[in-house]
Amino acid sequence: MYSVRYKDPKLAGVIIKEAVKCGKPNCRCAGGRLHKWYYYLYYRELVNEGWKLKKEYVPRNKVKYMRRKINRIKGEEKHLKLELQRNILFLKIVKYCLRTGETDLLEELK
């Protein structure tokens, strides 16, 4: 997920629903009955050579859209990671074949 974090850190985040206090002294939430439900996007952003946790409000009508977008990007990243692992394995096999002189194994891979 690190490549997505550099391009758009919000797409590497997660949406959480929370009950919140508004901060008004005479509100019902001051007595413990919190306002429900507010959705927040939590993500990490690169700030001064370190990752900082950020929180951003997501309007209720955008929650499904954002979740779908995040899941799609995470799926693409997973696919790319698997393909990278497959390519690394292939390069290790080629390196082994070149070192040992076994060209039969390379013919089978084609």
Q: How far apart are CA 92 and CA 86, in angstroms?
A: 10
Question: Which domain covers residue 16, as residue numbers?
Answer: 2-109
Nearest alpha carbon to residue 96 among 80, 84, 108, 83: 108
Q: Is 42 helix (H, G, I), strand (E, B) or coil?
A: strand
The dihedral of CA 50, 56, 40, 65: what is its sign? negative
pLDDT of residue 1: 44
| pTM of the full structure | 0.68
Structure tokens of 33?
């009955």
What letters, b where the CB count within 10 A reaches 16 and e where it falls short, cover 94-107? eeebeeeeeeeeee
pLDDT per position as a tens digit, 11-70: 888 999 999 998 898 999 888 899 989 999 999 888 888 889 999 999 999 999 999 998
Domain count, the chain: 1
